[in-house]
């Protein structure tokens, strides 16, 4: 692991541990809705993933195994995030096949690209399934909380599709790989920047529980998109995406903490 | 080279016979203990298979892959128990602890027969770390399951999410003790510290007490 990635990993871990301690304090002080408990568990899973990875890299730097246990922890994180959203929107029982199909296609394309890059087909398929569950719950939540207009939804999907297509193009023989990677990074970065601004504005203007819930959904959307960006990037883009992860963790914690008082 | 199946038979037969003479909670505990030992053997088979398939070798498999296999195998009987029987919380907890204790006991037996028991300090450390680790991880899972059932949220993502946490916890322990030094001391302390923490949590939230109607 390079020094920059190590610093970013440690910074993210510290932020996650702060979030975890904050959530545990909420639980101990009696503000323990199921969403808070699940989110604490989800954060604990992700924290353990970082801890495992740091110890692994410290103790076995020369060893690169096909499968590391922290991947299991990440799956747990994805599923538990889905469980938080499932609880937050538990009154929504409808099943929208359009959403399911859309998410399945997007995740399947991502998984195919991950397999093409890494060759770790089993882990990538399981990761994809876990993310698909989370993404479906997130889509339901975003739609229910009316987080985005039709135009914004279109922009989000278009931005993500362009990013994926640019990545696919990089596999063709003779393709200008560096330029394609840069273009894909810029496209996703612009999409993410817009969502960051929207999330901050939603948090600042929030007055009711539903507003904080919306901000929480937007924060998780940033996590998913940044994660996708991470998985499809090499250095230095990987470290940039990884480093920016601490922002959505912070947004989601603020939204969860303030929202719990109003729930 | 040890003959794990023979060791299992030797330990299991008296316990199996004792099942004829005990009832209710004691019978369940002894049966779950036996089950824990059988699962330990099955986990060893699977880990051995993975060792060959991945080419990791015995040492790396036990550090990196065995925790995942062991935690997965331990949770199966507990899930079966939860789904098949509508039992009270204390039964769920005692079943999980018996599975963990059986697993740890059989693993320690095989370890001692393989490597000897001359070094008393190391044997005690092993008992206090690996022995406690198997109990703590499945005990924590059982508490989570009880909480999920109480909150009507006993769903697949919750079960897998919690299982993944126990797997990584166990894997982190194995990683820490894989090399001598400060890291191994931290690793050996992890299970017992977690046991204390869980005990505090249990009494703080009265997790295993039955809900009053």
Question: What local confidence, expressed as pLDDT, does residue B1 receive?
Answer: 63
Closest alpha carbon to A41 in B97, B126, B155: B155
Q: Please state, as a whole number, how many other Cβ atoms lie within 10 Å of the Cβ of residue A166.
A: 21
Asked if B130 contacts B108 with a C-beta cutoff of 8 angstroms, the reply is yes
- CB of A62 within 8 Å of any CB in chain B? no
| Partner residue facing A82 (CB), from B157, B167, B204 | B157
Residue of chain B nearest A48, judged by CA positions: B168
Confidence of residue B153 (pLDDT cuts 50, 70, 90): confident
Least confident of A30-34, A75-79, A221-225: A30-34
- CB of B187 within 8 Å of any CB in chain A? no
Alpha-carbon distance A211 to B103, whole Å? Answer: 49
| Partner residue facing B168 (CB), from A49, A63, A80 | A49
**B53 contacts: CB under 8 Å, gap ≥ 6:** none
Question: What local confidence, expressed as pLDDT, does residue A228 receive?
Answer: 83
Check pLDDT > 80 for residue A250: yes
Least confident of A26-35, A197-206, B146-155, B169-178: A26-35
Question: Which residues in chain B are closer than 8 Å to A59, comparing Cβ atoms?
Answer: 175-176, 178-179, 183
Residue of chain B nearest A54, judged by CA positions: B172
Q: What is the pLDDT of residues B3-14, one digit of tens each?
A: 888 888 888 899
Alpha-carbon distance B136 to B132, whole Å? Answer: 6
Q: Please state, as a whole number, how many other Cβ atoms lie within 10 Å of the Cβ of residue A9.
A: 19
Closest alpha carbon to A218 in A252, A258, A193: A252
| Partner residue facing A52 (CB), from B60, B155, B171 | B171
Least confident of A139-153, A242-256, B91-105: A139-153
CB contact under 8 A, B56 and A65: yes
Question: What local confidence, expressed as pLDDT, does residue A116 receive?
Answer: 80
Mean pLDDT of chain A: 85
Q: What is the pLDDT of residues A54-65, one digit of tens each?
A: 998 888 887 777
* Number of domains chain A is built from: 1
Alpha-carbon distance B110 to B114, whole Å? Answer: 6
Question: What local confidence, expressed as pLDDT, does residue A157 receive?
Answer: 83
Share of chain A above pLDDT 90, in %: 19
Share of chain A above pLDDT 70, in %: 98
| Partner residue facing A55 (CB), from B157, B158, B172 | B172
Question: Which residues in chain A are closer than 8 Å to B160, comparing Cβ atoms?
Answer: 75-76, 79
Question: Which residues in chain A are closer than 8 Å to B176, comparing Cβ atoms?
Answer: 55, 59
DSSP state of A2: -
Give the range with max mean pLDDT: A230-234, B2-6, B144-148.
B144-148
Question: What local confidence, expressed as pLDDT, does residue B212 receive?
Answer: 45
Q: What is the pLDDT of residues A166-177, one digit of tens each?
A: 888 877 777 787
Q: Please state, as a whole number, how many other Cβ atoms lie within 10 Å of the Cβ of residue B125.
A: 16
Question: Which residues in chain A are closer than 8 Å to B137, comparing Cβ atoms?
Answer: none
Asked if A222 contacts A196 with a C-beta cutoff of 8 angstroms, the reply is yes
Check pLDDT > 50 for residue B130: yes
Q: What is the pLDDT of residues A190-222, one digit of tens each?
A: 888 989 999 999 989 888 888 888 899 999 999
Check pLDDT > 90 for residue B38: yes
CB–CB contacts below 8 A, A to B: 96
Check pLDDT > 70 for residue B206: no
Check pLDDT > 90 for residue B73: yes
Asked if B29 contacts B102 with a C-beta cutoff of 8 angstroms, the reply is no
CB contact under 8 A, A80 and B65: no
- CB of B65 within 8 Å of any CB in chain A? yes
Question: Which residues in chain A are closer than 8 Å to B171, comparing Cβ atoms?
Answer: 52, 69-70, 72
pTM reported for the whole predicted model: 0.87
Q: What are phi and psi of A12, to 5 degrees?
A: -60, -40
Confidence of residue B213 (pLDDT cuts 50, 70, 90): very low
**Exposed, middle or buried by CB within 10 Å (0-12, 13-18, 19+), for A8?**
buried
Residue appearing with tokens 């029987």: B85
Question: Which residues in chain B are closer than 8 Å to A38, comparing Cβ atoms?
Answer: 153, 158
Suggest the residue from A70, A72, A75, A122 to mutate for an interface test with chain B (most B CBs closer than 10 A).
Answer: A72
Alpha-carbon separation of residue A122 from A67, A71, A115, B52, B154 (angstroms) = 10, 11, 9, 18, 26
CB contact under 8 A, B158 and A37: no
DSSP codes, B64-97 = IIHHHHHHHHHHHHHHHHHHH----HHHHHHHHH
Mean pLDDT of chain B: 87
Average pLDDT, stretch B124-146?
89
Length, in residues, of chain A: 263
Which two three-digit tokens encode residue B46? Answer: 């699977």
| Partner residue facing A59 (CB), from B54, B163, B175 | B175
Question: What local confidence, expressed as pLDDT, does residue A15 receive?
Answer: 92
Q: Provide the residue range defining the domain that includes A87.
A: 3-262
Question: What local confidence, expressed as pLDDT, does residue B36 receive?
Answer: 94
| Partner residue facing A59 (CB), from B161, B179, B204 | B179
Q: What is the pLDDT of residues B97-106, one digit of tens each?
A: 999 999 999 9
Q: What is the pLDDT of residues A106-123, one digit of tens each?
A: 888 888 888 887 777 888
Residue appearing with tokens 């330029």: A179
**B23 contacts: CB under 8 Å, gap ≥ 6:** none
Asked if B130 contacts B64 with a C-beta cutoff of 8 angstroms, the reply is no
């Amino acid at each position: 692991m390079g020094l920059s990635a190590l610093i970013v990993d440690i910074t993210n871990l510290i932020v996650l541990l702060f979030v975890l301690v904050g959530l545990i304090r909420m639980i101990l002080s009696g503000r323990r809705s199921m969403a808070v408990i699940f989110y604490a568990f989800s954060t604990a899973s992700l924290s353990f993933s970082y801890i495992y990875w740091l110890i692994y890299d410290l103790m076995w730097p020369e060893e690169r195994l096909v499968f590391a246990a922290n991947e299991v922890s990440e799956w747990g994180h994805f599923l538990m995030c889905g469980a938080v959203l499932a609880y937050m929107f538990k009154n929504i029982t409808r099943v929208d096949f359009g959403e399911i199909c859309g998410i399945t296609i997007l995740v399947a394309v991502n998984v195919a690209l991950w397999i093409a890059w890494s060759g770790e087909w089993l882990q990538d398929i399981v990761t994809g399934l876990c993310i698909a569950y989370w993404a479906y719950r997130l889509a339901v939540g975003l739609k229910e909380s009316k987080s985005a207009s039709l135009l914004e939804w279109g922009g989000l999907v278009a931005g993500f599709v362009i990013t994926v297509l640019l990545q696919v193009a990089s596999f063709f023989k003779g393709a200008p790989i560096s330029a394609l990677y840069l273009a894909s990074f810029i496209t996703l970065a612009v999409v993410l920047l817009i969502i960051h601004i929207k999330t901050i504005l939603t948090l600042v203007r929030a007055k009711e529980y539903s507003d904080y819930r919306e901000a929480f959904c937007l924060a998780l959307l940033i996590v998913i998109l940044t994660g996708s960006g991470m998985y499809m990037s090499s250095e230095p883009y990987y470290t940039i995406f990884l480093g920016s992860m601490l922002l959505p963790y912070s947004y989601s914690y603020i939204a969860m903490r303030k929202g719990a008082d109003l729930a | 080279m040890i003959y794990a199946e023979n060791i299992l038979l030797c330990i299991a037969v008296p316990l199996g016979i004792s099942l004829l003479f005990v009832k209710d909670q004691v019978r369940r505990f002894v049966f779950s203990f036996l089950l824990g030992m059988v699962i330990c053997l099955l986990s060893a088979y699977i880990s051995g298979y993975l060792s060959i398939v991945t080419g990791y070798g015995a040492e790396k498999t036990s550090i990196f892959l065995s925790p995942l296999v062991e935690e997965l195998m331990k949770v199966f009987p507990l899930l079966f128990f939860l789904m098949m029987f509508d039992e009270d919380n204390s039964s769920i907890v005692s079943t999980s602890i018996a599975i963990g204790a059986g697993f740890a006991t059989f693993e320690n037996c095989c370890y001692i027969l393989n490597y000897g028991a001359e070094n008393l300090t190391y044997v005690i450390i092993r008992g206090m770390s690996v022995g406690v680790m198997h109990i703590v991880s499945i005990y924590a899972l059982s508490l989570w399951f009880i909480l999920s059932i109480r909150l009507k949220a006993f769903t697949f993502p919750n079960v897998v999410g919690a299982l993944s946490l126990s797997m990584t916890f166990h894997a982190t322990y194995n990683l820490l003790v894989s090399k001598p030094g400060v890291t191994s001391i931290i690793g050996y302390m992890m299970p017992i510290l977690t046991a204390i923490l869980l005990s505090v949590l249990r009494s703080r939230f009265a997790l295993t007490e039955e809900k009053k109607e």
